[in-house]
C-alpha cells in the first residue's frame, strides 16, 4: 500500500489531544502546568500547535495524566511526518496535456486565467 494515500488532509498536533484531555478531566492549562512543572507559556504554545512537544514535556505529561510518554512522542512524530507528507503532496504539480479545438479560444483563455495553465499553440 502506498503511504501517500494515507496522508491526512490536515495534521493533528499533539497539543490538540492535550486540550481534549484537559477538557475530559475538567482541568485548566494552569492546573496542568503546575502539576507538570511545564512553564504555562510553553504549555500554551504546545497546546496551540506553535511548539513541538518535547521529550521532557512528554515525560511530565506521563506522570500527570498517566498517559505513557511514548504515546505522546509517537503523536509528535506522526504530526511531523504528516506535515512533511502534506507539504510534499501539496507541492506536487501534475502535468496534463489537453487539446482544445481552436474555435474555443475564449474557453482556453478562461482556463489559462483561472488555473494558471500554460498554452502551446
Output the CATH code of domain 3-91: 1.10.260.40
36-to-32, 53, 61 alpha-carbon distances in Å: 6, 13, 6
* Whether pTM exceeds 0.85: no
115-to-14, 107, 110 alpha-carbon distances in Å: 36, 12, 8
pLDDT truncated to tens, each residue of the chain (121 aa)?
455 468 888 999 999 999 999 999 999 999 999 999 999 999 999 999 999 999 999 999 999 999 999 999 999 999 999 999 988 888 876 666 666 666 767 777 777 777 766 666 5
Q: Residue 73 is placed in which grid cell? A: 512522542
Alpha-helical regions (H) of the chain? 14-25, 29-36, 40-47, 55-65, 69-91, 105-115
The domain spans of the chain are: 3-91
Cβ(42)–Cβ(51) under 8 Å? yes
Amino acid at each position: 500500500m502506498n503511504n501517500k494515500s494515507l496522508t491526512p488532509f490536515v495534521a493533528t498536533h499533539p497539543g490538540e489531544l492535550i486540550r481534549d484531555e484537559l477538557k475530559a478531566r475538567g482541568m485548566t492549562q494552569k492546573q496542568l502546568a503546575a502539576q507538570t512543572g511545564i512553564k504555562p507559556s510553553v504549555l500554551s504554545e504546545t497546546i496551540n500547535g506553535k511548539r513541538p512537544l518535547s521529550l521532557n514535556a512528554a515525560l511530565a505529561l506521563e506522570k500527570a495524566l498517566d498517559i505513557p510518554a511514548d504515546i505522546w512522542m509517537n503523536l509528535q512524530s506522526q504530526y511531523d511526518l504528516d506535515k512533511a507528507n502534506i507539504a510534499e503532496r501539496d507541492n506536487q504539480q501534475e502535468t496534463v496535456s489537453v487539446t482544445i479545438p481552436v474555435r474555443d479560444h475564449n474557453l482556453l483563455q478562461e482556463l489559462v486565467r483561472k488555473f494558471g495553465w500554460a498554452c502551446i499553440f
